[in-house]
Structure formats: C-alpha cells, structure tokens
Homo-oligomer: A and B are copies of this chain.
Amino acid sequence: MFNELILKRESCRNYNGEPVNTDLLIKCVDAARLSPSACNSQPWKYYIINGGENAEKIRDCIQPNGANKFVQNCPAFAIVTEQPATLKPAIAERIKDKQRWAQNDVGLSVAHYCLQAADLGLGTCIIGMVEEEKVREYFGIEDKIRLVIATGYSADEKPRNKVRKALEDVCVVIE
C-alpha cells in the first residue's frame, strides 16, 4: 500500500556506508523518468555518482560551511538538473515564462525517485544547498542544477515518526 511506502520514505541523515549497486540508482531515475510534467515536457536530467573520487567531489559541493556532514558516509548521489521546457504550441503562446512549471515538474520527478528508493530499501536525502559552480567545475555539467539526492542504506533500524503540520492546517474542504 502506498501509505506504508510514504511512512518508510524519510530524509535519511545517517547512512551505514554500505555500497549501492548502480542498477538500483538507475531504477530510481527510471521511476523519476515516468513522472508527469506540464505538456509531458520532462524538463529533467539526472547525473548519477556512485562511490570513489567522484563521490568525494560531489560531497565537497554540498557541505558549505561544514553543513550536511552526514553525507561523508553516504556512497551515492544523484545530481538533479532542470532542462529547457518544451510546451505545446497552444499553451506556449499563452505563457511567457516557458519554465513556469519546470521546477514543479522536477519536484514531481524527485518524489518518484525518493519513493522508488524507499521501495528498494534505500534511504535518500534531498539537498538544496548545492554549490553550483563547483559542480560545473568538477563534472563539466552546464545544465541548471536544482538539487542533489544523497542515496544509500540507512543505519537506522526504523523510520522516525513524521513531524508535520496538522491535516486541518493544510487541507480545507470548500463546502
């Protein structure tokens, strides 16, 4: 059931360091690939890094001022980029900002990635504080960098209870 998977997925900041098979990471991107987007524009591209020197480099891009120390023990990462959106002509002529829905679409695909990872037994943490210039230097990526998703096996035995706003604060039924 999906509601069980939702509770299993959490932002993991405690990895056990165990290596991840690259095929599993590709499965997560494949799930992201199948997510919906405005005009089916699919304005995303994922770069996978799994261990070794490249993992050291991407860790250096997501620990500004000593933040996110937990990534030291995370073996794998997905760099999530936003691509130029190609809207349908009838819609494009009404919308000045062609990227209007792109960030939302990227969010949709990232949710698919993280939920697929949880279903495969992998922990994830979406990291927004990314030093874009460093990523460009290290990996020669020219695309607009949105996020990095740390991906690995959790060292925790079970998920934490979720701390969220009350349902009535985020859900209004208009009668």
CA distance A107 to B43 in the complex (A): 13
Q: How many A residues face the partner with a CB closer than 8 A? A: 73
Q: Judge whether A119 is part of the interface by a CB distance below 8 angstroms.
A: yes
- Nearest-Cβ distance from residue A12 to partner chain B, whole angstroms: 11
Q: Judge whether A150 is part of the interface by a CB distance below 8 angstroms.
A: no
A33-B167, A34-B6, A167-B33 known; A107+B116 contact, CB < 8 A? no
| Chain A interface residues (CB < 8 Å from chain B) | 1-3, 5-7, 9-11, 22, 25-27, 29-36, 38, 40, 42, 44-50, 54, 64-65, 67, 90-91, 94, 100-101, 103-112, 114-116, 118-119, 126, 128-129, 139, 146-147, 162-165, 167, 169-175
